[in-house]
Every structure is written in C-alpha cells, then in structure tokens.
Structure 1
Amino acid sequence: MRRTVLAPWLLALILAGPASGDTRWPEQGWHVTPISLGYSETLGALREAVEAEGMFVVTEAGPTEAAASRGVAIPGNRVVGVFRNDYAVRILRLSVPAMIEAPMRFYVTENDDGSTTLSWKSPSHLLTPYMDGAGAELASIAHELDTLFADIVWRVAEASE
C-alpha cells in the first residue's frame, strides 16, 4: 500500500497561504453566519455552546498560532471538530465509511473589521453520500445533528448580541 505524506514545507505553504484569499463560500451544504464578537470571544462562545448542547469539542486546528510562532501574522482561523460518542456508535452501526465525516466541524474566521464568521457544512450534507446504503435511519441521525449544530450557532449568535 502506498502512503502519501506531505512534505513539511508543502504543509507550511498550505497553512500559511495568503490571508486575503477568496472568501466566497460554496453554496451547497454550507451555512455561513456573521458574528459580531472578536475571534477569541467567538471561540469561547462556541466552546460554551457546544458544551451546553451536550456535544464535545474533540479537535481543534488552525494556522494562526503556528504562523505567529514563525513571525507571520494572519487573521484568526480555527477549525473546531465537534461530536459525541453515541452518534459515532449509531452511525458506525449503519455505515462504517460515514465515520470519515466525524468529527463534524465548525470554522471560525476573523474578518478585517475584528468580527468573525462562523461557518459549517450541515451534517445532512456530509452524510448524504452514505444514505443509499444506510437509509432512513442515517437520514434521521443527520437531521438530529443538523438541529444540534443550528442550536450551537444560535447560542453563539445570542452571545454576540
């Protein structure tokens, strides 16, 4: 089996690309919400909202801090993976390949004016390719997760008012 590994310099180039890149979001499956809070405050509000909805932050990654450690300043940029084990078990019982979509992610980006954008792909969009084999039960789980993700965003938006 052949494994592809990104060279460290290529990964650094990808992660520290121009901060002024294209900000047009794909339409299909994406939800994009402007948040008036600053970057750090949005991350805090997101973590609190995730916990309040009974979910867990299971991963976080972003180039901002790594770039700063190299002396490169870019706007705040963080991907926050959110999930819960009972959903993992339910999904695995229906479709092993569908678990590649977990954790499902929120994306927090800092805007030029100091506000942020909170975006995410809907869980139902992520799980759609696996529904042919898993059927209505996976669609039901996806709908539950859509509702949870919308409730999380509602809490973050409320914190910004």
Structure 2
Amino acid sequence: MKAFIPLLCLIALPLWAQDAPEGWAVYPTQKPYAELVDATKAAIKENGLIVVTQAGPTKAAAARGISIPGNRVIGAFNNDYAVRVLETSVHAMIEAPIRFYVTENKDGTSNLSYKTPSFVFAPYVSEGGQNLMDIAAELDSTFQSIAERAVK
C-alpha cells in the first residue's frame, strides 16, 4: 500500500498543474507549509537572489480568530537584475520582485507556484525587446532551480 501512495501523487501532479492559470509553474509537494516556506527562502538565497518582500494573510487572520490554510507570497529579485531590466524597460520594473506563492493544502501538504519570468515580462517586450526577453529567460532558469531545490 505504501508504494501505491507515491504513484497516486504522481498521477495527481499533472491534474493539479492543469488547473493553474497560463504562464504558471506549479510544484505540488509532500512538505508541510512552514517547511516549504523556509526551503523556498533558502533556495532563493542559494541561487543568488534575495527575498525582497513577504506577505500572507494567515497570521493576520489567526489574530482575528479566523483559521485559513497557510498562504505566503515571497518576492525575489536582486539589484543586478533590477539595473538590467531598467536598461531595457522602465515599465517592466513594476513587475519586480517576481513572486513565489506557497500554499497549504487541506491534507497538510503544500504547493510552490510562480508565474514564469518570461510570462511576467512578456507584455513589455515591445519596449524591452530581445534584451528583456533574454533577462527573463535567465530568470526562468533561476526560478526553476529555486523551485526544484525548495521542493526536494
């Protein structure tokens, strides 16, 4: 029976990911929420970015007596990328930091999701051109590395 559970998880993985909006990367995990939040922040640092912002309604709701699943948005970027993006498109910089989204499931597992940087910056390609898309492609690779490390 224990061998059957991972098989079910592998089958469910594509189904959950199919529900994600266009442009999103989704990584369902067996990790508890708090562990995935910590692992995501550590992976961001390990991959040369910094945690620029964090926000989530879970603690504030608890302070109001409302229990909701864990929910945290973690913005990641660095100054090198900021300067490079600004050289291509002032308007595109509104998208920084690009965010990871950690959500807790009812069964105690959690998911790591994000909009791919290429998707995030696509509306600005007419201003930023190929240089902006090259930066976005670099960030796509970095974000994928962060996600893979965090969910390990």
Answer whether TM exceeds 0.5 for this pair. Answer: yes
| Equivalent position amino acid for 2:38 in 1 | G
Q: 1:79 corresponds to which residue?
A: 73
2:74 maps to amino acid = V
The match for 1:153 among 142, 147, 151 is 147
1:80-95 pair list within 5 angstroms: 80-95=74-89
Q: Could you tell me which of 66, 70, 73 is aligned with 2:60?
A: 66
Counting aligned pairs with the same residue, the percent is 51
RMSD of equivalent CA atoms: 1.3
Amino acid paired to 2:21: E
Amino acid at match of 1:120: Y
**In the alignment, does 2:108 pair up with 1:117?**
no
Runs of 4+ residues over 2 Å off in structure 1: 23-27
| Per-residue deviation, residues 33-73 of structure 1 (Å, max 9, x unmatched) | 10111011001100110010011001000000000011111
Normalized per residue, the structure richer in helix is 2
CA contact (8 A) 2:58 2:69 kept: yes
- Aligned residue for 2:28, secondary structure, equals strand
TM-score (norm 1): 0.82
Give yes or no for the alignment of 1:101 onto 2:95: yes
Structure 2 unpaired stretches of 5+ = 1-16
Name which of 28, 39, 63 aligns with 2:33. Answer: 39
State the aligned residue count.
136
